[in-house]
Amino acid sequence: MPGAFEGKVVVVTGASMGIGRALALEFARARAHVVVAARSQDKLVEVAREIGALGAKALVIETDVELREELARMVDLTVKEFGRLDVLVNNAGYGVSSFLDQLPQVELERIFKVNVFAPVQAAQFALPHLQRVGGQVINVGSVIGRRAVPVLGAIALVVAKPRPVTVRAIDAVETRSCIGKTSGPIAFAEPASPLAG
């Protein structure tokens, strides 16, 4: 990976812990400028310090991905600071342990806001900037979409059902014609842990 991301600007949502934090640090090791976004300002500041220790630039943007306006702000501040956006990593995720028939409506709505709507909305705001540089969107998913786990049925429905539509509709139709400068504008990563950090 050395050189592939050098000087590129990468936004990672859910970057305060887990997979998001690990991805942010890996992009820093690859010499990218990394924007770390999540709700926990204190944890983001710590991740930014680690990125700085690796010799890369970091920008902390406290972001609640449930809020469309905060996603727009995240993209705007990134471009204002660095003048470009090369990679958007939609990593933030939310899940709750509950039997499907006992899942409160408010939790179901939050699962959809964070895991379905937020990645789409973030991509909508990022696409004009990504198109200019032949950038990419990376959506981090969960193995729960492929394998049932007790009391995580609602999450399994959310991550399994939209995935094929997303791959076909976005990758095959929209971004190849819109971005066109990369061979694979949208990538799906499925980590070993059930929930993205």
Query: What's residue 95's pLDDT?
Result: 79
Q: How confident is the model at residue 153 (pLDDT cuts 50, 70, 90)?
A: low
Q: Which one-letter amino acid corresponds to residue 186?
A: I
Q: Enter the pTM of the model.
A: 0.79
Kindly report, residue by residue over 45-73, the tens digit of the pLDDT: 999 999 999 999 999 999 999 999 999 99
Reported as a single tens digit per residue, the pLDDT across 75-119 is: 999 999 999 999 999 999 887 777 777 888 998 899 889 988 999
B/e letters for 162-185, b = 16+ CB within 10 Å, e = fewer, are bbeebeeebbeeebeeebeeeeeb
Domains and CATH numbers, the chain: 9-189 (3.40.50.720)
State yes or no: pLDDT of 31 exceeds 70. Answer: yes
168 pLDDT more than 70: no
Cβ neighbours around 112 below 10 Å, total? 17
What tokens were used for 2? 């050395």
The answer for residues whose C-beta is within 8 angstroms of residue 157's C-beta and 6 or more apart is 100
126 within 8 A of 85, measured Cβ to Cβ: yes
